[in-house]
Amino acid sequence: MIKIGFIGLGHMGAPMAMNLLKAGYGLQVFDLVPEAVAQLAAAGAQAATTAAEAVQDVNVVISMLPSSPHVERLYLGTGAEEDGLLAMIRPDTLIIDCSTIAPESARKVASLARQRGLTMLDAPVSGGVAGAEAGTLTFIVGGASTAVEQARPVLMSMGKNLFHAGDHGAGQVAKICNNMLLAIHMIGTAEALQLGVNNGLDPKVLSEIMLKSSGRNWSLELYNPYPGVMENVPAARHYEGGFMVDLMSKDLGLAQEAALHSKSATPMGTLAKSLYELQSLSGKGSLDFSSIQLLLRKATDEVPSR
Ligand code: NAD
């Protein structure tokens, strides 16, 4: 049986790990939060008390961590001798990092992995928590073709689509471009809905009209930010759960770094980064990113209570 070591059981990692269990893989799990480990253990995974224990005698290692420093720290360690996971994983193991991180970080870790005879892929995902739960994620993968084919059955147990974007780091570049666009159309959608409401329209009616018109987009169709328009989206539960403002802000920061690096003009991406930064500064960093709607509402509007 193929055994997988899974590290990082947050909003995304926990449901992804659940789907690996359902697919019949042997699973060893670790997270800094013991309750997250206990939840997976109750479903049949083997609980590890350290990351090193989770990667003992496995064929595949998967990580799903917040950002670049977390991933570099996990695999490369503190700089002290041999305290990163790369020094502890056996050479024939495939490493798949599904976190959204800087392309430079992904390339650095993959290159150090290669020096140790390890194969690594960057495989950030799209599809959100709902996609992670339903097993319908899209994996955007960077690395060698042979490794991508090796990873395919495992990734397809958690998703529906797999794109090979190119060499190491390419998965991250594609993911960053996608999330910059996502932030821009989420802000645009919230802005249009607020303008309609401020001018006497019902947000449900306006949403229906725009869905059949040229303003149609993913945020409007599947993730409406205006409370009361859709069920089963973060706006229907006071923006709890989903994809945190702080993580979106991180991704927009990565897009800005990439823009600087490549001398690209990203005026909308720059503005989106500032708006999500403001949202975070106003204490809403842990809300879902569709809560950007709250930034646009009038002070006299009924604000959803938390
Ligand atoms: P999260 O904060 O909910 O989960 C991260 C988990 O990693 C936490 O449980 C944390 O305890 C754990 N962790 C951190 N450092 C660790 C370490 N050293 N060892 C073990 N566990 C550690 O974040 P998330 O929403 O699950 O997102 C994870 C990644 O996926 C991020 O890079 C994010 O940008 C990306 N992503 C998120 C979504 C979404 O909708 N939430 C969608 C697509 C991509």
Query: What digits encode the pLDDT tens for the residues 252-276?
Result: 999 999 999 999 999 999 999 999 9
For 47, phi and psi rounded to 5 degrees? -80, 135
Please name each of the domains of the chain with its CATH number: 3-167 (3.40.50.720), 173-301 (1.10.1040.10)
Residue 83 Cα, ligand 1 centroid: separation in angstroms? 22
Mean pLDDT for the stretch of residues 79-95: 88
Tens-digit pLDDT profile for residues 62-83:
999 999 999 999 999 987 667 8
Tens-digit pLDDT profile for residues 190-227:
999 999 999 999 999 999 999 999 999 999 999 999 99
In this structure, of 22-31, 38-47, 74-83, 109-118, the range with the lowest mean pLDDT score is 74-83
Report how many helices (DSSP H) and strands (DSSP E) the chain contains, helices first. 13, 9
Is residue 130 scored above 50 in pLDDT? yes
Ligand 1 pocket test target in 39, 55, 64 with most atoms within 8 Å of CB: 64
Examine the residue annotation and report whether 175 is marked as an active-site residue of this protein.
yes
Q: How far apart are CA 137 and CA 282, in angstroms?
A: 31
Nearest CA residue ID for atom 13, ligand 1: 8
For 278, phi and psi rounded to 5 degrees? -60, -45
Residue 156 Cα, ligand 1 centroid: separation in angstroms? 20
Q: Is 3 helix (H, G, I), strand (E, B) or coil?
A: strand
β-partners of residue 95 are 61, 120
Q: How far apart are CA 18 and CA 44, in angstroms?
A: 9
Given the residues 175, 250, 273, 284, select the one marked as catalytic: 175
Question: What's the CA angle centered on 123, arms 119 and 239, to 5 degrees?
Answer: 150
β-partners of residue 47 are 29
Tokens 């019902």 locate to 202
